[in-house]
Structure 1
Amino acid sequence: MGEGRTGLWRRCQTVVDRLDLPDPFDAEAFIAVLAHKRGRPIELLGVPARPDRPCGLLITTARTDLIIYSADTSAVHRQHILLHEAAHLVRGHDATGGAATAGIGVLLPHLSPALIRNVLGRTVYTEPQEREAELIATLIHQRVARGRPPAARAQSPQSGIETMFGLGGI
């Protein structure tokens, strides 16, 4: 049946512990470092969020990687989307190349499915890969939060929730 939750957690924690994270942390700066280490560009493309669309998608082509993300969401959610998609690259989930045609069609409906298949190819991530990417993104968030000064961590639970959903100042 595969490794258990403890094995997945340990493996992902080891991956995150070895990452070179910028200080102060910024997801875009982390992705730029990742692109440099991989020796290929990673482009970021923000698109309007819609309920029928995934909030993030990684497209790997022969020359570049493209992370498409919901641009009109909270800063915390946007960062998590970027980290989730970057985690696929960190773990080599892009090794087969291509893109999920259905996901691209939903995010970029003006492109024909035939064009997407012909130009980009196809990758379908497995459920274990999605769990791994999600856990790595979450562990990066935790590592970054631990590195902040105590005053920055000492928010009330309510203010943290407001920040997460982009409701600060309401």
Structure 2
Amino acid sequence: MTASAESLADRLDWLFDVVVARDPETGTWRRYTDAEVQRVLPGPTTLERLRAGASPDPGQLAALAAFFEVDIAFFGDDPAVVDQIRDELLVSALRACGVLSYLICRMSVPIATQREQLRHALSRERAAMRAPETWHDDQRVEEPGHDSGTTGMTATPMSMAQLHTLCRNLVEDLGLNAPFGPHELCERLAAHRGRRIKVRATDLGATSGVGHLAPTRDMDRIFVEKNSPAPQQTLVIFHEVMHIVRDHLQIGDTFSCGVGSAEDLVTSAYGDWREWEAEVGARELARLAQERPRPNRLPPAAGSAEQSIAAAFGFTHGR
């Protein structure tokens, strides 16, 4: 089993970035040092030479695989096997951070780009959180419920009409009046469910149309691209809210990436029906958020008749 000099150096760099040590006293993570890895290799400069492009021998590859606790096939020539091991390592590392699931949504993203986004997400999680003391192989054991209180979790896809009704009922149940924003919706939904929702604008690699949803044991976290326009961020947040409301993370693989490759939602061109549901719901929520209130549902306007007329045209609203 061999690996080219270039690919071995790249894979070692990747392992140093993803497979890290945990400080038992502080609960924080740190990268392994070259000196620590060098101890399992013969000679004083073997690691340095391998990272500089020297050809390895099987014994050196076996020692590296044992140190990083990775299948030696990671250093092999089968790209599919290497990628599978990468995915398994990323999932394991994110779970060690307390992340129950991780969805990359809304736009067709190449698999290689998804892995890079997950790697950056892993760095962000490690920087922001302490690791839990223990973790169970069966993630369902301690996984929190995601019931929104407005609809039960089901594996049966909804129709577009059903999703539109669900969104309108959600807005009414939460007592929202248009115009409302995504952060207000998240605040009220969190209070309704008794589970926090945290929205954060961050660097997602300039992928402005993509949203990330990362639930942990005590909250659901939504990440949006910080440099994307406000309307784009709004749609992304509503999309992730629909995943939460519909309990999509309780169905199927918990570390899956949604792919939506077409704009025509009617044709269900999305590779995952959960992504289709989330996008249909997001667009309906965006519409409802700006819907002009009906005059017969407006609260009595305090003050002049002019204020009442303005309210009828949607310029003011009651809370």
TM bin, normalised by shorter chain, reads: 0.5 to 0.7
The AA in structure 1 aligned to 2:192 is K
Could you tell me whether the CA contact under 8 Å between 2:199 and 2:221 is conserved in 1? Answer: yes
Indicate conservation of the 8 Å contact 2:178/2:291, yes or no.
no
**Unaligned stretches of 5+ in structure 1?**
104-125, 153-170
Instruction: Specify every segment of 5 or more residues in structure 2 that has no aligned partner in the other structure, as ranges.
Output: 1-155, 259-270, 294-311
2:281 equivalent to 1:136: yes
Determine if the alignment matches structure 1 residue 35 to structure 2 residue 190: yes
**Whole-angstrom CA distance in 1 between matches of 2:184 and 2:314:** 24
For the structure 1 residues 16 and 25, does the alpha-carbon distance in structure 2 shift closer, same or farther, using more than 3 Å as the test?
same
Deviations 1:55-111 (Å, cap 9, x if unpaired)?
2111112211111111111110010011100110111113369963889xxxxxxxx
Separation in 2 of the partners of 1:132 and 1:11? 10
Residue 116 of structure 1 is matched in structure 2 by none
Partners of 2:188 and 2:236 in 1: how far apart?
17
Per the alignment, in what secondary structure is the counterpart of residue 73 of structure 1?
coil
Structure 1's 73 and 130: CA in aligned 2 closer, same or farther, altered over 3 A?
same
Alignment of 1:29-68 (within 5 A): 29-51=184-206, 55-68=210-223
RMSD of Structure 2 on Structure 1 (CA): 3.0
Secondary structure in 2 matching 1:68: strand
- Once the 2 structures are TM-superposed, how far is the Cα of residue 54 of structure 1 from its aligned partner? 6.8
Q: Quick check: which has more Rg, 1 or 2?
A: 2
Q: Which has the higher contact order (CA 8 A, sep 6+)?
A: 1
Change (3 A) 1:38 1:17: same
Residue of structure 2 in register with 1:17 after alignment = 168
The size of the alignment, in residue pairs, is: 126
- SS of the residue corresponding to residue 59 of structure 1 reads strand
Q: Which amino acid aligns with 1:137?
A: A
Deviations 1:32-73 (A, max 9, x none): 111111111111121124256872111112211111111111
CA distance in 1, matches of 2:255, 2:235: 20
Contact 2:179-2:291 within 8 A present in 1 as well:
no
Compute the TM-score of the two structures, normalised by the length of structure 1. 0.62
Q: 1:58 to 1:22 in 2, by over 3 A?
A: farther
Amino acid at match of 1:35: A
For the Cα contact (< 8 Å) 1:59–1:100, is it kept in 2? no
Within-5 A mapping of 1:61-80: 61-80=216-235
Contact 2:243/2:278 (8 A) holds in 1: yes
2:74 is aligned to none
Q: What SS does the aligned partner of 1:50 have?
A: coil
- Percent identity over the alignment? 24
Q: Which runs of 4 or more aligned residues in structure 1 lie more than 6 Å from their structure 2 counterparts after TM superposition? A: none
In 2 relative to 1, CA 133–64 (structure 1 residues): closer, same or farther, beyond 3 Å?
same
Contact kept? 1:59, 1:67, Cα under 8 Å? yes
Question: What displacement does 1:134 show?
Answer: 0.4
Say if 1:56 and 1:69, in contact at 8 Å, map to a contact too: yes
| Alignment match of 2:292 (pick from 130, 147, 151) | 147
Q: 1:101 to 1:130 in 2, by over 3 A?
A: closer
